[in-house]
Amino acid sequence: MLNCGIVGLPNVGKSTIFSALTSAPAEAANYPFCTIEPNIGIVNLPDSRLDKIAEIFNPKSLVPASVEFVDIAGLVKGASKGEGLGNQFLGNIRQVGAILHVVRCFEDDDVTHVHGKVDPTDDIEVINTELALADLETVEKRVVNLPKMKKNQDKKISDKAKFIEPVLEKISAALEQGRPARSVELNEKEAEALKELHLITMKPVLYCCNVDESGLEEEPESVMKVRELAAKDNSEVVVISGKIEAEIASLGDEEERREFLKDMGLSESGLSKMIRAVFHLLGLSTYFTAGEKEVKAWTFKTGIKAPQAAGIIHSDFERGFIKAEIYSCDDLFELGTEAKIKEVGKMRIEGKDYVVKDGDVIHFRFNV
């Protein structure tokens, strides 16, 4: 699943951040549950390499890579038992590949807090506990079925049940302690066996601290608390100001936005950093195709081989794959033209076993 769900308690700034991300207004209001149906937005990945390649090829069109973000209803205490929009929320979050957990790290008397006080550690705890409880229920349902599965005449089913039993015990113990399933050390086979359960706490998480303007200049204590908590969880943290990002998004053109960032003393927007962090959180990389007609960034799961990467363009490319002509975009920036790259022997011919790298520029040869 190549998408990211934005979650958090009500009134932490999720919809403001989503609107700024997509520059398409999601309803944002000062009361819980104003986001009921999840909003979905496709967001372009900021990538200076794409612009540099375009400068060299001067193509008729330029197509960036993109990430899908899903703005999911605010979660409250008791969601795992159906409180608020609990069941709907949990159903939506199971469908995403990664979680962007927005945490309120700003004080504002005009924006009510669902628990009456701003305490990011407590807020994170509420959501993580609800997700762990929801997963625990899923695991327990599977455990109940195991005795029947182990007696099944089909050896595949009985072997699978015997194999997964100790794995579920490990996961269950962690969840009962309020720890996420991803904190449990699993080998490849164990992780694969758990996939069909769609456990929410197996998904990678990026904590997004939503601060006010002063919080960008000097990191408040609340952000430091989130960093401490994230370190225990092996998760990353980004700090952005939803209010400022909304202002940037409302500006007419790119030049105005650049000017605004310059005045703020920022080299790029917080959203740009966040989008890239989510891209890597999802285990994604980018390769490029380049020519006079089009320069395009293609998104792929890190670690795939050349024929599968070709299949992202079209299934015929994978089916009839012969070879790939490949060079690094860094070599292109250094040498200036494809002709120079060929001249110095930096253009490589790769076959079916080549593992595609982030930043490769590829021309596929195929025959169907």
Contact 203/3 with Cβ under 8 angstroms? Answer: no
Q: Which of 46, 57, 55, 52 minimizes the C-alpha distance to 363?
A: 57
With a pLDDT cut of 90, the percent of the chain lying above it is 54
For the cut 90, the answer to whether the pLDDT of residue 59 exceeds it is yes
Q: Are strands 236-240 and 284-290 parallel, antiparallel or unpaired?
A: unpaired
Residue 78 binned pLDDT confidence (cut-offs 50, 70, 90): low
Q: Which of 32, 103, 99 minimizes the C-alpha distance to 71?
A: 99
Contact 116/155 with Cβ under 8 angstroms? Answer: no
Res 58: pLDDT: 95
Res 75: pLDDT: 60
Residue 81 binned pLDDT confidence (cut-offs 50, 70, 90): low
Residue listed under structure tokens 């998480």: 205
Rounded Cα distance between 288 and 52, Å, is 12
Res 94: pLDDT: 83
Q: Which of 229, 243, 231, 332 minimizes the C-alpha distance to 289?
A: 332
Mean pLDDT of 114-134: 80
Strand partners, 135: none
For residue 263, the one-letter residue type is: D
For the cut 90, the answer to whether the pLDDT of residue 322 exceeds it is yes
For the cut 60, the answer to whether the pLDDT of residue 104 exceeds it is yes
For residue 131, the one-letter residue type is: L
Rounded Cα distance between 137 and 134, Å, is 5
Mean pLDDT of 305-315: 96
Res 127: pLDDT: 85
For the cut 60, the answer to whether the pLDDT of residue 307 exceeds it is yes
For the cut 60, the answer to whether the pLDDT of residue 80 exceeds it is no
For the cut 80, the answer to whether the pLDDT of residue 173 exceeds it is yes
Average pLDDT in the chain: 86
For the cut 70, the answer to whether the pLDDT of residue 36 exceeds it is no
Contact 329/49 with Cβ under 8 angstroms? Answer: yes
For the cut 90, the answer to whether the pLDDT of residue 29 exceeds it is no
SS3 sequence, 159-211?
HHHHHHHHHHHHHHHHHHCCCCHHHCCCCHHHHHHHHHHCCHHHCCEEEEEEC
Question: Which tokens go with 263?
Answer: 């005045």
Res 90: pLDDT: 74
Residue 354 binned pLDDT confidence (cut-offs 50, 70, 90): very high
Res 255: pLDDT: 86
Contact 73/36 with Cβ under 8 angstroms? Answer: yes
* Angle, in degrees to the nearest 10, between helices 120-150 and 221-232: 20
Res 175: pLDDT: 93
Res 76: pLDDT: 55
Which is more confidently placed, 11 or 287? 287
Domains of the chain: 3-119+202-281 (3.40.50.300), 130-196 (1.10.150.300), 303-366 (3.10.20.30)
Res 110: pLDDT: 58
Residue 63 binned pLDDT confidence (cut-offs 50, 70, 90): very high
Determine which of 53-57, 113-117, 178-182, 289-293 has the lowest per-residue pLDDT on average.
113-117
Extended strands (E) in 228-359: 236-240, 284-290, 294-301, 321-328, 348-350
Which is more confidently placed, 249 or 324? 324
Residue listed under structure tokens 């049940």: 161
